[in-house]
Amino acid sequence: MAYVSRGFRGKRAKEREDARLPPGQYLVDDFPVLSAGPTPHTPFEDWTFTIESEMAELKRWSSESFRALPSEEVRADIQCVTKWSKLDTTWEGVSVDTLLEGVEHDATHAMVFSDGDYTTNLPLEDLLDGKAWVAFAYDGLPLEPEHGGPARLLVPHLYFWKSAKWVRGLRLMDHDEPGFWESYGYHIYGDPWREQRYAGD
Amino acid sequence: MESDAMRVDGNAMAGILGEVFVQEMTAVRIACGGCGKVEPVGAEHAYMRGPGIVMRCCHCDSVLLVVTHTGETHRFGVGRAKWLDFGEGA
Amino acid sequence: MARAAVRGRLNWALGEVVELIDETPRVRSIVLDVPAWPGHRAGQHVDVRLTAEDGYQAQRSYSIASAPKDQRLALTVEGLSDGEVSSYLVGELRTGDKLELRGPVGGYFVWEAEMGGPLLLVAGGSGVVPLMSMLRHRDASGGAVGARLVYSSRSWEDVIYRDELERLASATDGPEVVHTLTRSQPSGWTGYARRVDGQMLAETSWPASIMPSAFVCGPTPFVESVAAALVLLGYPATSVKTERFGPTGG
């Protein structure tokens, strides 16, 4: 192992013994900001969300029509692949179940896409049955750009890189395909409880 | 382009690139497959705080190179970098 | 222009802390003895890695403050309130401790006397560190090249290397040093008292026509606004080298 620096603990609030933490994670009290590129600053009035198939656009919402949809409060623990976790975070969002209501498809997977060319892939079943939301508020306030505002995907049961910031839509697919981090070496699925951080784990 | 506090220079990647390449990389010239512009690595934009380190074209923001530390080893990914020129006196 | 140097792959090395110098209330210089230190070029940096007992690691880059020919390596670190690495380096670290570092690295943001000038150095806060290495190198190599430093600090107490800069500036052939103090000024202060802007640079920088080399270092928003202002003053973009420190946190 690397040289141990006398007296260094880092910013972690607690040790890793907490039973609510998946293997290899530690708790933080702040909300770290990670990014792969410049922060987009899309005003909510200009934001849209679309559901597409490989061929066509199936559904589209403007910020107005999106906010008219039923939304819910979500309380979740989030796990970042860089090993920090945050418990009991609160969000407000529209369930992906609501968004996919009435959409006819035979898709097995989805590619989530965001401003700034970020993408991430998921099996469709991980987006359904109350497991995923498009969230526009965090901790009672509108979601800030550095944390993904105006809206981000929220899929707390997987590593947080799957909860794409600055989300703009889903492309329904009949096969799986790696998104941005997945194509650079991160795990195609990303289950924190099986510590699926990197491809091949 | 707008200022972004998280953005740093490609020079900040010198350490991680130095672990992957034998050569000091920041003076190496890189051609962007997005806009075609050529710049030294040190002048491109780097985003160091993420699951990986991302180098983007300072003109058009295209992803040029991505370095991830996947557990045991470094993985060096090539995005839209068209070529790298290692020539002397670049 | 920097030559691409060939050398072995970089590895982590262990340096021993031999001296700690409190430069300002928030800033400390760390002087290290690093076995087989290959020497560095002014403007380069090292990556510092800290490891906790349970294996948790954090890593940050710090510019080298010492001159290239110095036997010992000096880093100057600003302690940031939410910075887990910087607060350790400025608060906890003691002489006798060891520090893991990788470098020197960064062949792009360097200045060597043979590269000529004149030099325009623009520093925001702790961005002065690599530029100080350049000024120390310039002083050690005879100071033939014209040099101007425009240095932005919050207050006079926050000016790093204050006395040494005064000493360098007062020598014949010394650099011209212009301070701006953005938050508070000592009574009787007649210098600049605002953020660096185009007007200030127009008054203090070398004219673009004499083909100066510019080095700008500090927090990212500072660097980007200064670099843009220099380009508006006629500096070709390739003559302005930047070293963004990122957000002022970490």
* CATH code of residue C56: 2.40.30.10
Q: What is the CATH number of the domain that holds A135?
A: 3.90.420.10
Could you say which of B1, B52, B61 has the minimum Cβ distance to residue A184?
Answer: B52
* C137 and C238 in a common domain: yes
B13 min Cα distance to partner chain A (Å): 14
Would you tell me which residues 61-120 of chain A have a C-beta closer than 8 angstroms to some C-beta of chain B? 80-82, 116-117
List the single residue in C3, C61, C107 with the smallest CB-CB distance to B12: C61
The span from the CA of B78 to the CA of B67, in Å, is: 9
Strand partners, A142: A137
Name the domain count of chain A: 1
Q: Identify the H or E element spanning C120.
A: strand C119-124
C87 to chain A: nearest residue by CA? A10
Residue C156: inside a domain: yes
From A3, A9, A30, residue closest to C14, measured CB to CB: A3
Report pTM: 0.88
Q: Is residue C26 part of a domain?
A: yes
Of C105, C123, C138, the one marking the end of a domain is: C105
**Alpha-carbon span C146 to C138, nearest angstrom:** 10
Nearest residue to A145 (alpha-carbon basis) of A44, A60, A66? A44
Amino acid at position B58, single letter: C
- Full residue range of the structural domain in which residue C121 is found: 113-244
CB < 8 Å from C in window 79-138 of A: 83
Per-residue confidence band for B88, with pLDDT thresholds at 50, 70 and 90? low
Q: Tell how far CA C71 is from the center of its chain.
A: 19
Burial (CB count within 10 angstroms: exposed 0-12, middle 13-18, buried 19+), residue C48: buried
**What is the number of domains present in chain C?**
2
Q: What is the DSSP letter of A181?
A: H
Q: Give the start-end residues of each E strand in chain B.
A: 7-9, 29-32, 38-40, 45-47, 52-56, 63-70, 73-78, 81-85
ipTM of the complex: 0.88
CA atoms within 13 A on the CB side of A189: 13
Give how far A81 is from chain C: nearest CA, Å.
14
pLDDT for residue A162 is more than 90: yes
Each residue of B1-55: pLDDT tens digit? 778 888 999 999 999 898 878 778 898 999 999 999 999 999 999 999 899 999 9
Chain C interface disruption, residue of A8, A18, A28, A80, most C CBs within 10 A = A8
Domain boundary among C80, C105, C130: C105
Residue B9: which of A194, A138, C44 has the closest Cα?
A: C44
Residue B58 pLDDT grade (very low, low, confident, very high; cuts 50, 70, 90): very high
Containing structural domain, residue A108:
44-194
Which amino acid, residue C140? A
Q: Are residues C126 and C41 in the same domain?
A: no
Query: Considering CB atoms only, which of A10, A30, A83 is closest to C52?
Result: A10
The domain segmentation of chain B, as residue ranges, is 7-85
* Structure token pair of residue A147: 């944390």
